[in-house]
Amino acid sequence: MSEAPATVAPDPALFDKVVNLCKRRGFVFPSAEIYGGFRSTYDYGPVGVLLLRNVKDAWWRSMVQLRHDVVGLDAAILSPPAIWEASGHLKNFTDPLVDCRVCRERFRLDHLDDAEVCPNCKSEHSFTEARQFNLMFRTYAGPVEGAGAEVYLRPETAQGMFVNFRNVLETSRRRPPFGIAQVGKSFRNEITTGNFVFRTREFEQMEMEFFVPPVESAKWYEYWCAERLSWYVDHGIPADELRLRAHDEDELSHYSSATSDVEYLFPWGWDELEGIANRGDFDLTQHANHSGEKLDYFDQATGERYVPHVVEPAAGATRTAMAFLLAAYDEEEVAREGQGKGEVRTVLRLHPRIAPYKVAVLPLSKKPELQAPALEVLGLLQPHFMCDYDETQAIGRRYRRQDELGTPFCVTVDFDTLDDGAVTVRDRDSMAQDRVPIEDLVEHLRPRLGL
Interface with ligand GAP (CB under 6 A): 156, 158, 188, 190, 199-200, 203, 205, 207, 272-275, 314-316, 318-319
Q: How far is the CB of 203 from ligand GAP (least distance, A)?
A: 4
Query: Which residue of the chain is nearest ligand GAP when measured via CB?
Result: 316
Cis peptide before 177 (omega within 30 of 0): yes
Q: How far is the CB of 116 from ligand GAP (least distance, A)?
A: 27
Among residues 55 and 438, whose Cβ is nearest to ligand GAP? 55
Q: How far is the CB of 190 from ligand GAP (least distance, A)?
A: 5
Nearest to 317 by CA among 224, 197, 234, 424: 197
Q: How far is the CB of 72 from ligand GAP (least distance, A)?
A: 16
Q: How far is the CB of 244 from ligand GAP (least distance, A)?
A: 13
Q: How far is the CB of 248 from ligand GAP (least distance, A)?
A: 16
CB 98 within 8 A of CB 107: yes
Strands 409-413 and 359-363 turn out to be: parallel
Among residues 315 and 326, whose Cβ is nearest to ligand GAP? 315
Q: How far is the CB of 297 from ligand GAP (least distance, A)?
A: 21
Give 3-state DSSP helix, strand, coil % of the chain, rounded to 5.
35, 30, 35
Among residues 118 and 322, whose Cβ is nearest to ligand GAP? 322
Among residues 184 and 363, whose Cβ is nearest to ligand GAP? 184
Q: Where are the beta strands (DSSP E) in 109-230?
A: 131-134, 137-140, 150-153, 178-187, 202-212
Please work out, in degrees rounded to the nearest 5, the angle formed at the alpha carbon of residue 427 by the alpha carbons of 365 and 384.
80
Among residues 47 and 273, whose Cβ is nearest to ligand GAP? 273
Question: What torsion do the CA atoms of 319, 323, 325, 329 make, to the nearest 10 degrees?
Answer: 160
Among residues 79 and 126, whose Cβ is nearest to ligand GAP? 79
Q: Using DSSP, state whether 249 is helix, strand or coil.
A: helix
Among residues 205 and 412, whose Cβ is nearest to ligand GAP? 205
CA dist 398 and 400 (Å) reads 5
Q: How far is the CB of 398 from ligand GAP (least distance, A)?
A: 34
Name the residue type at position 131. Answer: R
Q: Using DSSP, state whether 185 is helix, strand or coil.
A: strand
Q: How far is the CB of 407 from ligand GAP (least distance, A)?
A: 27
Backbone phi, psi, residue 386, to 5°:
-75, 120
Dihedral over Cα of 4, 7, 9, 14: its sign = negative
**Other C-beta atoms lying within 10 Å of the C-beta of residue 245:** 16
Write the DSSP symbol of residue 349: -
DSSP assignments along 381-407, one per residue: HTTTS-EEE--SS-HHHHHHHHHHHT-
Backbone phi, psi, residue 278, to 5°:
-95, 100
Among residues 319 and 398, whose Cβ is nearest to ligand GAP? 319
Among residues 275 and 406, whose Cβ is nearest to ligand GAP? 275
